[in-house]
């Protein structure tokens, strides 16, 4: 779904070099709030969260967020996704998920904490227990395997398919690959967790979960949140261009995932699940 909002903007800058300074136009990635709401079939509307995102694929982002945070379980839970376009200043910045009559929704779930930043102050033990309480099971031990040369190629494969990053230099990406290194789906966003929710949301709306035969590549680091969302979608292998956090390693180890960090053409580190890397 392409939103009516632009994902880039043009701004005036002063380009300063050793020898000169000149005025020019430059492209920057757009950052705007997206308010996510849920409307149960029996009436009412509940605000779920506000996330700062780059406009584009907003319905995927909404569905992916609601699924990966445990508020939706299956595609049939959603009857419709709509923008709220009667709010003058925030047109196309509010999306409501209208639930089907068969969807199970507990408003009390909205009072729990969403682990959305590394500064939220949640202890690691409580976070792992929260994943287990939500019903996330370990990924199957056998799972797919991926060759080392494929892993080394993932960063460039990810980078070469980021059109908005190419214009702005300011977006993260999440790419879903098969074990032969073929790209299935890529999404960009100013937040790496939003990029992943857009990927998961697309697959959720297509009824294509879990993603047990895929490899997820992400720009930047691998955080707890990235691993939690990948686990919810059943993704067994996560490769990050940057470093993993300690809690990301804990999640991967606890739930049998393969976690790769510092992926580069020259090599990478395997933190957990070495048996899936050939």
Catalytic center residues: 120
Q: Cα-atom radius of gyration of the chain, to the nearest Å?
A: 19
User: 25: which 2 tokens?
Assistant: 């136009």
DSSP notation for 43-63: S--EEEEEEEE-SS-HHHHHH
d(CA 128, CA 132): 7
Burial 71-100 (b: 16+ CB within 10 A, else e): bbeebebbeebebeeeeeeeebbbbbbbbe
Cβ pair 222, 259 in contact under 8 A: yes
* Torsion on CA atoms 75, 114, 94, 44, rounded to nearest 10: 70
Cβ pair 1, 58 in contact under 8 A: yes
Nearest CA to 262 out of 168, 133, 154, 163 is that of 154
User: 115: which 2 tokens?
Assistant: 């682990």
- Residues contacting residue 139 through CB under 8 Å, at least 6 positions apart: 212, 231, 234, 235, 236, 255, 256, 257
Nearest CA to 223 out of 124, 120, 117, 133 is that of 117
Distances (CA, A) of 54 to 33, 65, 104, 214: 8, 15, 30, 25
């Amino acid at each position: 779904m392409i939103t009516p909002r632009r994902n880039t903007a043009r701004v005036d800058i002063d380009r300063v070099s050793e020898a000169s300074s000149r005025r020019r136009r430059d492209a920057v990635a757009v950052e705007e709030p997206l308010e996510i709401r849920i409307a149960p079939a029996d009436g009412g509307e509940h605000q779920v969260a506000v996330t700062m995102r780059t406009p584009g694929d907003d319905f995927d982002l909404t569905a992916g967020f609601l699924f990966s945070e445990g508020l939706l379980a299956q595609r049939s839970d959603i009857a419709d996704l709509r923008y709220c376009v009667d709010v003058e200043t925030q047109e196309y910045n509010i999306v409501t998920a209208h639930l089907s009559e068969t969807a199970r929704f507990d408003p009390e779930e909205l009072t729990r904490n969403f682990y959305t930043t590394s500064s939220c102050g949640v202890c690691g033990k409580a976070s792992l227990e929260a994943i287990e309480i939500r019903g996330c099971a370990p990924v199957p031990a056998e799972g797919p395997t991926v060759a080392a040369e494929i892993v080394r190629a993932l960063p460039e494969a990810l980078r070469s398919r980021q059109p908005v990053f190419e214009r702005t230099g300011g977006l993260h990406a999440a790419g879903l690959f098969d074990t032969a290194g073929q790209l299935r789906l890529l999404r960009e966003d100013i937040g790496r967790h939003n990029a992943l929710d857009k990927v998961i949301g697309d697959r959720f709306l297509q009824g294509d979960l879990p993603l047990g035969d895929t490899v997820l590549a992400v720009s930047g680091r691998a955080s707890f949140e990235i691993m939690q969302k990948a686990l919810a979608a059943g993704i067994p292998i996560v490769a990050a261009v940057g470093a993993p956090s300690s809690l990301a390693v804990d999640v991967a180890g606890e739930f049998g995932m393969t976690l790769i960090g510092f992926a580069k053409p020259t090599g990478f580190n395997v933190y957990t699940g070495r048996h899936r890397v050939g």
